[in-house]
Amino acid sequence: MFVSDILKVKGSDVVSISSDEPVAAAIAVLCEKRIGALLVLDSHDRILGILSERDLVRAMNGFHDAVFSKRVGELMTHRVVTCSPKDPVAAIMGMMTAQRFRHVPVMDEGRVVGIISIGDVVKSRIEEAQAEVEALRQYITM
């Protein structure tokens, strides 16, 4: 299974926000879309950062009420790790575990073509394991 197989099912929609939006706007989008992270893009759709629930919790702990006077660009993670549609899902799962993040934008020829979450990766790995079990079951009962 490859990242492109996940994107075939979930599509290439990426929910994004601009770095100068207020934090409250980011929280509203996360809640409305029921997602855990927003990609922060510039006006040319280039990645500037990523803002996840974890960044917001960390900022609440550091800034308390003042968190609501912050802009997305002040709280986002700047160095974003991306993957390619050609990457194996197992490798991305290992990377998410080792680096402790749950979202990876997918880039193809310099363009953002999707984002995959730990939920997408786990679902894909379970489906793969189930298909293997079924193939083995058919093999031994032949």
CA dist 72 and 50 (Å) reads 9
Q: Measure the CA–CA gap between 136 and 92, rounded to whole angstroms.
A: 26
Q: Which stretch binds ligand AMP (CB under 6 A): 10-18, 22-30, 77-85, 120-128?
A: 77-85
Instruction: List the x/- string, 54-73, binding to ligand AMP by CB under 6 A.
Output: xx------------------
* Contact between 71 and 82 (Cβ < 8 Å): no
- Strands 16-17 and 37-41 turn out to be parallel
Q: Which residue shows structure tokens 């003042």?
A: 66
**Would you count residue 30 as binding ligand AMP (CB under 6 A)?**
no
98 vs 140, beta carbon nearer ligand AMP: 98
37 binds ligand AMP (CB under 6 A): yes
Pairing of strands 111-117, 16-17: unpaired
Q: Which stretch binds ligand AMP (CB under 6 A): 15-23, 27-35, 60-68, 78-86?
A: 78-86
Binding residues for ligand AMP, per CB under 6 A?
36-37, 50, 52-55, 77, 79-81, 101-104
